[in-house]
Amino acid sequence: MAEYFPRNPSVPPVSWNVTIRPQAKADLRRAHDWYEERCAGLGELLGQEQSGAMRLRLADLAKDLNLIRQARDLAAGALSQD
């Protein structure tokens, strides 16, 4: 779909503030410790994978938001021509 909505340089990039709640942090810590007890380094690998997955998901959300903004701008332009 990105080929239909090329990047608009006038649209600022998306910036996210992500908050991981205390209970979620505790869950991640317990999972880290559980894996680490089974094999040294495995808990660290889990943390790296989780961080990477979160970064990918945020990048997907940013792309979606840019597509929505561009579609809105196209629709507004089409409506103003009527």
Q: Where are the domains of the chain?
A: 56-82
For residue 53, CA distances in Å to 27, 56, 57, 60 come to 16, 5, 6, 11
Q: What is the model's pLDDT at position 67?
A: 80
Half-sphere exposure of 2 (CA within 13 A, CB side): 7
Q: Are 45 and 38 in contact (CB under 8 A)?
A: no
The single-letter DSSP state of residue 13 is: P
Q: What is the model's pLDDT at position 1?
A: 44
Question: From first to last of its 82 residues, what are the pLDDT tens digits of the chain?
Answer: 445 555 666 666 666 677 889 999 999 999 999 999 999 999 999 999 999 998 888 888 878 887 888 888 888 777 776 5
Q: What is the model's pLDDT at position 7?
A: 60
